[in-house]
Structure 1
Amino acid sequence: MPLDRELPDTRDHRCIEREYPHNLPTISVVLIYLDEALSVIQRAICSIINRTPAHLLKEIILVDDHSKNEDLKTQLHVYISSINEKHPGLVKMVTHPEQKGLAQARISGWKAATGDVVAILDAHIEVHVKWAEPLLARIQADRTLVLSPVFDRVNYYDLEVTKYPPSAHGFEWALWCIYVPFPQKWYDQKDPSQPGKSPSVMGILVVDRLFLGEIGTLDGGMQVYGGENVELGIRVWLCGGSIEVIPCSKVAHIERAHKPYMPDLSGVMKRNALRVAEIWMDEYKRNVHIAWGVPMQNHGIDIGDVSERKKLRERLKCKPFKWYLENVYTALNPRNILAYGVVFYYTASGEILADPLPSLLHDRSHCLIDPGSGRFPELSWCSDTEKSKHMYWDFKQGEAIQNRETKRCLEINAEQTGKYEKNVFIQECRNQHWRIQNLIQDL
């Protein structure tokens, strides 16, 4: 496959027709990689040079987070030298002497950049034609914007390109990234080429270089991989900026079979999520703790020193997280859960919710109900009004769990072994007492 292959033009027809000013800000493109295939990096560089106006492309900065692949040493250096012979100083390299993780790699790229705007991308990408102009024009109009292009999917096994529609970027309470709808007014325009507001960024971001420094770049205390983009998204909105997805800017992105840093990212992701929650989420940090099943206090996970980031929040006079929930990410469900443990979640209204716990308001949850007869409880959609009267339970720590309507109690057969849910039943109350592991407030 040639390094300068053509990509299918997946833009909306209105994007193709749109013209942009000649006098736009310059752009530094940062490519982050760890043990990436040489040809993938070469194809990324080639596409950026071929599809970015030369007077706008300030430089391409490669950030190597301590790769061990041999062909990323001599062969890549030879390729870069051949480019710099034609375009002196265009491609630069930053090499980490030890692995520092994704957030630090992005910070390294930002520090090395000199353009008006910095685009921090993965190295396993190819940019489409006119990818840069829509981004630069938006930032020229408002330097406090943090932007994302729309990603098309590239299969890792055959590099075929699949068109992806525009979508906003959000996250679950565990801070895993997800695609979410744009605000309704974006759809009301009936023009899918228009920018759309987004609660967060997936990771690829384009921003005024100096503005990114003013709001604290990325959190260098985040480790390895995961959560740093969500942290940035929350901080941008709370501290004076906003985030948009730009449909006329298309970037083809290889969907990898696995992440390069480690086979299982859940441990470090939990740690990073708890760090974000402690700095930015105020009383709503409980939802991150709930999502990861850790206690509110003394969870034993070292999230690093957060004092400087809290000082940054004060210095920037950032808004409370409640404002973000009410004005930006209104789809995120700020559940009023009072307690959570191995078996269930207990809400302020008396519902017992089953795992897994959805993060978004439009996602349906399962509630435990007393069907009114028989020995066993059932799970029903919490929105099921026909069964809602059997959905509420009274519970205080160390006491019985009693259904408000039937007055029967939830009890457990302590003589059996195995999973709790197989041993739970309902009967006339026999003074069986329950304790739930994690209390958010006294019951």
Structure 2
Amino acid sequence: MRTFKQKQSQIQMVNEEIMHDKGAGKKPLEDLKEPALLFPESDLFKNWGKNLTHDEQRDAQAAFEQYGYNVYLSDRLPIDRLLPDTRDQRCATKVYPETLPTLSVVLIYLDEALSIIKRAVCSIIDRTPAHLLKEIILVDDHSTNGSLKVWLVLKPHLKMLIVKHHQQLGLAQARLSGWRAATAEVVAILDAHIEVNVMWAEPLLARIKQDRTVVVSPVFDRVNYYDLNVVQYNPAAHAFDWAMWCMYESFQPGWYSLHDGSLPGKSPAVMGILVADRVFLGEIGGLDGGMKVYGGENIELGIRVWTCGGSIEIVPCSKIAHIERSHKPYARDLSKFMMRNALRVAEIWMDEYKYHVNIAWGLPPKDHGIDIGDISERKSLREKLNCKPFSWYVENVYPALATWKDVVAYGGVNAQKCMDQGPTPGHIPIAYNCHYYHPQHTYYRQNGEFYVGGIKSHKYNDNRCLADPGTGNLPALYPCKEVFHST
């Protein structure tokens, strides 16, 4: 077996061959001039590929535009490449029960590059104990790249299944299809542009064995979309703002007080990649199939799990390398889907807090006119499960969320020109042609605070308030906590 350093050397050699493939008998590399970049503004070539020929650059750029990551390089890297072990050192010493639940792994994809899927499948087979891995299920959400014919590496004991959608149904429906097809005790629902790392499955399965109502997620390391190198990420909670955009956030202080980075940490939500007891996931309603295309379904699941009898944890001893695309190939602008899905989550789950989502998206507090689909079934599910109110979730699970109950007006201040936060850094507001993007978002609260340039979703952040500095100058923008809460 090759060591990690040996495999890294092989990968480096492959990169060098791609970058300098000039053929035998030609001039030494140091005597060759670097070709000019054909796409100097492309994100792909900002940190990679400067020595590719023009034909190679065209091929690499075309594939990058199609997929959102470096397919040209992926096609030339080993399918079974070794990943750096980025776990906390204590993880390697942990011993897990001999008897663990069986596992179905679901990979969902839409127009994914073939070599990326190969690498995901190989990593799962190579790094999951054979007696635990019952099946791999590939869910194709109606890919349009006709050349994609899934390559399968089979072991005699392993069941492989492909589920194909005849039309694009979106992430939530793809995950639902994978869950429905699964037959193992535990289901892991992953993106297809991942590689699982060493002993990724055992800590997740062990935690679910302890408590079947816990939905768990690994820690994601980032795979750069341009050079496919792995960048270590530290454990963090999966969180969100009032617009329902996902984000990383610190765990609660109690986790850090334990001084053990190998321990699971509680999380308000889950970022799509999730592992759960298959039957329990069904008992609480799976995923909301009424979500469209992208976004919101993971936050909806997080709220539902917490308020309906379960919990969510991030497990640091499980690591997965995940490609962060430059762009989604199926939709360059995801905001309209995100907004629609966020409004659906709010209407079903957020009770008196639901208009916070309207404020975050700059919509009227009522009658926003956006079709969020039929929510009767999900409302009935909430009632059937006797779920806690959203106020309980805010107070007990996600107290870092700022509440906006006293916001009485929001929008743009228009008097031929609009009030704008002006240049940043800086604190002088200006009148500017109206465009109504973030710098011109204003909010007025009952306590007299007047925000310019957006409103923050979390208590640990501060807004900028228009205030009189008391020096005889014109009003300016200052941190609101400094202006209104100083002692």
* Both structures adopt the same fold (TM-score exceeding 0.5): yes
Matches of residues 334-345 of structure 1 in structure 2 within 5 Å?
334-336=403-405, 337-343=407-413, 344-345=442-443
Q: 1:364 aligns with which of 462, 473, 483?
A: 462
Report the 3-state secondary structure (helix = DSSP H, G, I; strand = E; otherwise coil) of the residue aligned with 2:354.
Answer: helix
Q: Give the deviation of 1:374 after TM superposition.
A: 5.5
Report the 3-state secondary structure (helix = DSSP H, G, I; strand = E; otherwise coil) of the residue aligned with 2:147.
Answer: helix
Once residues 359 and 203 of structure 1 are traced to their aligned partners in structure 2, the CA distance between those partners, rounded to angstroms, is: 21
Please say if 1:275 is aligned against 2:329.
no
Q: Give the deviation of 1:279 after TM superposition.
A: 0.5
Alignment identity in percent? 66
Q: 2:312 aligns with which of 229, 243, 246?
A: 243
Give yes or no for contact 2:401–2:459 (8 Å, CA) kept in 1.
Answer: yes
Once residues 272 and 71 of structure 1 are traced to their aligned partners in structure 2, the CA distance between those partners, rounded to angstroms, is: 32
> What 5-or-longer segments of structure 2 have no aligned partner?
1-76, 414-441
TM-score, length basis structure 2: 0.76
Q: Give the deviation of 1:48 after TM superposition.
A: 0.2
Once residues 236 and 314 of structure 2 are traced to their aligned partners in structure 1, the CA distance between those partners, rounded to angstroms, is: 7
Give yes or no for contact 2:223–2:230 (8 Å, CA) kept in 1.
Answer: yes
Please say if 1:24 is aligned against 2:100.
yes
Give yes or no for contact 2:467–2:483 (8 Å, CA) kept in 1.
Answer: no
Q: Give the deviation of 1:372 after TM superposition.
A: 4.4
Give yes or no for contact 1:65–1:105 (8 Å, CA) kept in 2.
Answer: yes
Once residues 201 and 221 of structure 2 are traced to their aligned partners in structure 1, the CA distance between those partners, rounded to angstroms, is: 15
Q: Give the deviation of 1:341 after TM superposition.
A: 2.2
Once residues 203 and 295 of structure 2 are traced to their aligned partners in structure 1, the CA distance between those partners, rounded to angstroms, is: 28
Matches of residues 382-393 of structure 1 in structure 2 within 5 Å?
382-385=480-483
Q: 1:8 aligns with which of 64, 84, 96?
A: 84
Give yes or no for contact 1:274–1:303 (8 Å, CA) kept in 2.
Answer: yes
Report the 3-state secondary structure (helix = DSSP H, G, I; strand = E; otherwise coil) of the residue aligned with 1:179.
Answer: strand
Q: Give the deviation of 1:87 after TM superposition.
A: 2.5
Q: 2:167 aligns with which of 90, 98, 101?
A: 98
Aligned to 1:223: 292
Give yes or no for contact 1:51–1:131 (8 Å, CA) kept in 2.
Answer: yes
Give yes or no for contact 2:96–2:206 (8 Å, CA) kept in 1.
Answer: yes
Q: 2:358 aligns with which of 258, 264, 289?
A: 289
Once residues 87 and 45 of structure 1 are traced to their aligned partners in structure 2, the CA distance between those partners, rounded to angstroms, is: 15
Larger mean Cα displacement after TM superposition, 63-72 or 202-211? 63-72
Matches of residues 8-407 of structure 1 in structure 2 within 5 Å?
8-73=84-149, 76=150, 79-80=151-152, 83-84=153-154, 86-87=155-156, 90-336=159-405, 337-343=407-413, 344-372=442-470, 376-385=474-483
Give yes or no for contact 2:269–2:312 (8 Å, CA) kept in 1.
Answer: yes
Once residues 282 and 338 of structure 1 are traced to their aligned partners in structure 2, the CA distance between those partners, rounded to angstroms, is: 18
Report the 3-state secondary structure (helix = DSSP H, G, I; strand = E; otherwise coil) of the residue aligned with 2:268.
Answer: coil
1:110 to 1:374, Cα distance in 2 relative to 1, 3 A: same
Give yes or no for contact 2:134–2:158 (8 Å, CA) kept in 1.
Answer: no
Q: Which runs of 4+ in 1 moved over 6 A?
A: 386-389
Larger mean Cα displacement after TM superposition, 126-135 or 365-374? 365-374
Once residues 64 and 266 of structure 1 are traced to their aligned partners in structure 2, the CA distance between those partners, rounded to angstroms, is: 23
Q: Give the deviation of 1:373 after TM superposition.
A: 6.3
Once residues 373 and 15 of structure 1 are traced to their aligned partners in structure 2, the CA distance between those partners, rounded to angstroms, is: 58
| Residue-by-residue CA offset, 1:327-380 (whole Å, 9 max, x unaligned) | 001111112322222232111212112231111101011111133466742111
Q: Give the deviation of 1:66 after TM superposition.
A: 0.6
Aligned residues: 382
> What 5-or-longer segments of structure 1 have no aligned partner?
390-443
Once residues 386 and 157 of structure 1 are traced to their aligned partners in structure 2, the CA distance between those partners, rounded to angstroms, is: 46
Once residues 316 and 19 of structure 1 are traced to their aligned partners in structure 2, the CA distance between those partners, rounded to angstroms, is: 36
Give yes or no for contact 2:306–2:312 (8 Å, CA) kept in 1.
Answer: yes
Report the 3-state secondary structure (helix = DSSP H, G, I; strand = E; otherwise coil) of the residue aligned with 1:221.
Answer: coil
Once residues 289 and 229 of structure 1 are traced to their aligned partners in structure 2, the CA distance between those partners, rounded to angstroms, is: 19
Report the 3-state secondary structure (helix = DSSP H, G, I; strand = E; otherwise coil) of the residue aligned with 1:92.
Answer: strand
Q: How big is the alpha-carbon RMSD for the aligned residues of Structure 1 and Structure 2? A: 1.5
Once residues 312 and 16 of structure 1 are traced to their aligned partners in structure 2, the CA distance between those partners, rounded to angstroms, is: 41
Report the 3-state secondary structure (helix = DSSP H, G, I; strand = E; otherwise coil) of the residue aligned with 1:156.
Answer: coil
Report the 3-state secondary structure (helix = DSSP H, G, I; strand = E; otherwise coil) of the residue aligned with 2:314.
Answer: strand
